[in-house]
Amino acid sequence: MPELPEVETIRRQLQKIIVGKKLSGKEITAVRRRAKLLIIDFKDGSSLVFHLKMSGQLILNGQPLKHTRKIFKFNDGSTLVFNDMRKFGWWKRVKNSQILEKDFGPEALKINLISLKNCLKSHPKIKIKQFLMNQHFIAGIGNIYSDEILFASKIHPAKQVGKLNDRQIKLLHQNIKKILEKAVEYKGSSLKDYFDASGQKGDYVKYHQVYQKEGSKCSRCTSKIKRIKIGGRSAHFCPNCQKL
């Protein structure tokens, strides 16, 4: 957290406002996202790259807080405040952002069905929850949206990738895009630390079906949502709708 929908929300907001401004004398030409990275490109070809990690925030003209780590000042007097309570997030000025971008897999919102199938077939023993969260396989999905995508697809998070049939893979592909696009539409999920670039909370939390809902009733069958650990991360699912 933040994942693709949250970073994409911030990217779209910053794109509208800071392109054309100057930062440290350099003109901003674009604001991009690659996986969970936010990238501000400059006219000279260099970039400012952010990874918000667990609790990072980028707030336009925000007020400095006790966990503010950096204030970026634009030529017109406006600011971009980087807050990070847990201090796992980072920013880097780089001459070529491709060095940081090259190790990511296809973007989750852009991957086609054939590419997804081929990648799945190449890693038959891995559990699907871990596959979705591995940024080398598919870029942008984390703990929240992997749970939601798998619930929508009726796939158990511990199911091995090699045991998925064609119908399940097609459904998975459809729901990756459906869930992520809807989450972007509602400006992401604010559970604790996430705010968009205007300092507002995202509204997608109210559409969560399983994430952090252990013990609650499934919206489809009324069974209780369970939580298990997979690769050290929590996975929330309905044991009735998502059979192993």
Catalytically active residues, by annotation? 2-3, 36, 233
- Identify which of 60, 64, 69, 56 has the alpha carbon closest to the alpha carbon of residue 18: 60
161: helix, coil or strand?
Answer: helix
Distance CA 61, CA 65 (A): 12
Task: Count CB atoms within 10 A of the CB of residue 235.
Answer: 25
Q: How far is CA 218 from CA 179, 184, 221, 222, 240, in A?
A: 18, 24, 6, 4, 9
Which letter, b or e, does each residue of 26-51 get, where b requires 16 or more Cβ atoms within 10 Å of its Cβ?
bebeebebbbbbbbbbbeeeebbbbb
User: What is the rounded CA–CA span in Å between residue 170 and residue 153?
Assistant: 9
